[in-house]
Structure 1
Amino acid sequence: MELESLPDDVVAAIEVRDRWRRASAGGGLEFLVTDIARWTPGSTVRVAFLDGDEQLHADIAGATAQITDACNVKLDFGRDEATGTFRRWTTADTAFAADIRVSFDMQGYFSLVGTDSTDRTIGVGGGPVGGNPGQRSLNLGRYAVNRPAQWEGTVRHEFLHALAFHHSHQNMRGTCEGEFRWDDEPEYVPTQDADGVFVADAQGRRPGIYTYLAGEPNRWPRAKVDHNLRTVDDPDVVAGPFDPRSVMLYRFPSFFYKSTPSSCAPTGNGQNLSDGDIRGLNLLYPHTADEVADLQARADTVLRSIGTDAEGLPRSDGGNLVKEYRNRVGALVAAQAAGAD
């Protein structure tokens, strides 16, 4: 089983930035992370494709309709009604052809979260993935060659990431932290099959998550397992209720869990948005002016928590982030005014 994962250099850049945010924002973390990662409610987020044919592009766009039907944001795939073609981007681009840049040519599935897709500090080293114009921000590996079963659910999962959703198994209100069987069973003898996958040993003792994911095809070190699976028990982070029906909840092999059936295991079909997913979309991208005004008030709180100097200008250590945040506050104000009109 191969899990979705961003390249290591991209994960490292995100972790460095997020540590800075935590140190700068203090108690406003939950609003800082949510509001900076969120696209502006009521806005249009442009999508473009690197490869794949027009039928694949049309199918991807169709699968995301379930998302945009549920919230106040539009995904624009740039379809030309006359030709039936969709917007494309290239790795040579120096200006953004789109906010979300889709590819099918890399291994596996992944997406940057929300506005990380246009954060130029991510992938600044020039790798294939990042927040710069010529870098992939969302990948659906080998869809151009062979789509897997239930491919629509994977599309919705990755596009929810692109709209600022995180994984449900990392929700501190869930049970996954305690339900996951992190370590090997006592006296397990590391045993791999012909493909390099860790399996039960001759006595039937099973590997734990750390050992299993260290083998093929993932080859993850412990730090990467922690980043992708562990729950961060931070009292400053506001999370919604754990939703076992969410398309954002991984469907793991049964031996990952301590109990059967596990309270952490998904109960949805993995294809369609759950009621909880739809509620989350409405919270991130509300429709009413009052709800948008509430987002603006929260953004103001975070801006103050980051801090400014005596003249009201950004501190030197946080200038770019504060400027970006002020721009997002301004966009929220504009959205509210447009709604009032």
Structure 2
Amino acid sequence: MELESLPDDVVASIEVRDRWRRASAGGGLEFLVTDIARWPLGYTVRVGFLDGDEQLHADIAGATAQITDACNLKLDFGHDEATGTFRRWTTADTSFAADIRVSFDMQGYFSLIGTDSTDGTIGAGGGPVGGNPGQRSLNLGRYAVNRPAQWEGTVRHEFLHALGFHHSHQNMRGTCEGEFRWDDDASYEPTTNADGVFVADAQGRRPGIYTYLAGEPNRWPRAKVDHNLRTEEDPDVVAGPFDPQSVMLYRFPSFFYKSTPSSCAPTGNGQSLSDGDKRGLNLLYPHTAHEVAGLQDRAAAVLRSIGAGTEGLPSSNGGYLGEAYRSRVAALAAAQAAGAH
């Protein structure tokens, strides 16, 4: 089983940026990160494709309809009805042809979170993935060659990342931290199959998550396992209820869990958005004036929590957090005055 993962250099640049935010903001970190990663309310997010044919593009656009039906945001795939074509981007681009830049040519599945897709500090080293015009921000590996079964669920999972969602198994309100079998069974003898995957030894003792993911095809060091699977125990984090039906919850092999059935295991079909997913979308991108007012109050609270005065606070990419948040509050106030639909 190969797990979804961004390239190491991209993860490193995100962690540097987030450490700076944490040090600057103090309390209210999750509000800060959420509001920066969220696309503007009512925004039309342009999506483009690097490779793949028109039928694949049409199918992916269709699979995202569940997402945009649930929130005040539009995904624009640049469909030209006259030609049947969709928006494309290239690795030579120096200006943004698309906000979300989809590819099918790299190994595995991954997506940057929300507006990280257009943050030039992410992947600034010039690698294939990052927030710059000629870099991939979302990948669906080998879809152009051989789409997997239940491919629609993976599309929705990755596009929810692209709109600001994180994995449900890292929700501090869930049970996954305590339910995961992090370590090997006692006296486990490291044993691999012909593909280099760690398996149970001759006595039936099983590898733990750290050992298993250190083998093929993931080859993850312990720190990368922690980044992708561990729950962040932070009293400032605000999360919705753990949702076992969410498409953002991984379907792990049974040996990942201490109990069967596990309270951390998904109960949904992995294909369609859960009611919880839809509530989360409406929280980030609300429809009604009342909900927009709540979002405005949240943004104003963040502005107060970071102590952003008239001079603002310098951000990781040379801007000013205070200025950014004042702008966000003003935009939300304008949306409320206009009346959200």
Q: Answer yes or no: same fold by TM over 0.5.
A: yes
Report 1:183-222 matches (<5 A): 183-222=183-222
Give the superposition deviation at 1:251.
0.2
- TM score, norm. by length of structure 1: 0.96
Give the superposition deviation at 1:297.
2.4
Give the superposition deviation at 1:111.
0.3
Q: Could you say which residue in structure 1 is the equivalent of 2:319?
A: 320
Q: Distance in 2 between matches of 1:296 and 1:150?
A: 38
Q: Could you say which residue in structure 2 is the equivalent of 1:32?
A: 32
Q: Distance in 1 between matches of 2:314 and 2:236?
A: 25
Matched residue type, 2:136? R
RMSD over aligned Cα atoms: 1.5
Distance 1:169 1:36, change over 3 A: same
Q: Distance in 2 between matches of 1:64 and 1:315?
A: 37
Q: Distance in 2 between matches of 1:172 and 1:316?
A: 30
Aligned 8 A contact 1:246 1:273 in 2: yes
Please list the CA deviations of residues 56-96 of structure 1 after superposition, one character each: whole Å capped at 9, or x if unmatched: 00000000001101111110101111111111111111111
Matched residue type, 2:312? P
- Does 2:198 correspond to 1:160? no
Q: Could you say which residue in structure 2 is the equivalent of 1:236?
A: 236
Give the superposition deviation at 1:132.
0.6
Give the superposition deviation at 1:98.
1.0
- Does 2:92 correspond to 1:92? yes
Please list the CA deviations of residues 163-195 of structure 1 after superposition, one character each: whole Å capped at 9, or x if unmatched: 100000000000000000000000101111111
Q: Distance in 2 between matches of 1:277 and 1:85?
A: 30
Aligned 8 A contact 2:124 2:130 in 1: yes
- Does 2:51 correspond to 1:54? no
- TM score, norm. by length of structure 2: 0.96
Structure 1 SS opposite 2:132: coil
Distance 1:330 1:81, change over 3 A: farther
Matched residue type, 1:69? D
Please list the CA deviations of residues 277-325 of structure 1 after superposition, one character each: whole Å capped at 9, or x if unmatched: 111111111011222122222212222333345xx11234666241443
Matched residue type, 2:71? C
Matched residue type, 1:25? A
Q: Distance in 1 between matches of 2:188 and 2:255?
A: 14
Q: Distance in 1 between matches of 2:315 and 2:165?
A: 28
Give the superposition deviation at 1:24.
1.3
Q: Could you say which residue in structure 1 is the equivalent of 2:121?
A: 121
Q: Distance in 1 between matches of 2:59 and 2:24?
A: 42
Moved over 6 A (4+): none
- Does 2:335 correspond to 1:335? yes
Q: Distance in 2 between matches of 1:294 and 1:93?
A: 38
Q: Could you say which residue in structure 1 is the equivalent of 2:17?
A: 17
Structure 2 SS opposite 1:13: helix
Matched residue type, 2:185? E
- Does 2:179 correspond to 1:172? no
Q: Could you say which residue in structure 2 is the equivalent of 1:288?
A: 288
Identity of aligned residues (%): 86
Q: Distance in 1 between matches of 2:241 and 2:136?
A: 31
Q: Could you say which residue in structure 2 is the equivalent of 1:265?
A: 265
Aligned 8 A contact 1:183 1:208 in 2: yes
Gapped runs of 5+ residues in structure 2?
Answer: none
Q: Distance in 2 between matches of 1:101 and 1:144?
A: 15
Aligned 8 A contact 2:169 2:229 in 1: yes
Give the superposition deviation at 1:27.
1.5
Deviating more after overlay: 300-309 vs 130-139: 300-309
Structure 2 SS opposite 1:47: strand
Distance 1:149 1:258, change over 3 A: same
Q: Distance in 1 between matches of 2:271 and 2:238?
A: 26
Distance 1:195 1:147, change over 3 A: same
Matched residue type, 1:313? E
Distance 1:133 1:337, change over 3 A: farther
Aligned 8 A contact 2:190 2:207 in 1: yes
Q: Distance in 2 between matches of 1:340 and 1:72?
A: 9
Matched residue type, 1:144? A
Q: Distance in 2 between matches of 1:331 and 1:124?
A: 29
Structure 1 SS opposite 2:57: helix
Give the superposition deviation at 1:21.
1.1
Q: Distance in 1 between matches of 2:314 and 2:163?
A: 30
Query: How many residues in Structure 1 have an aligned counterpart in Structure 2?
Result: 339
Deviating more after overlay: 291-300 vs 234-243: 291-300
Aligned 8 A contact 1:24 1:305 in 2: no
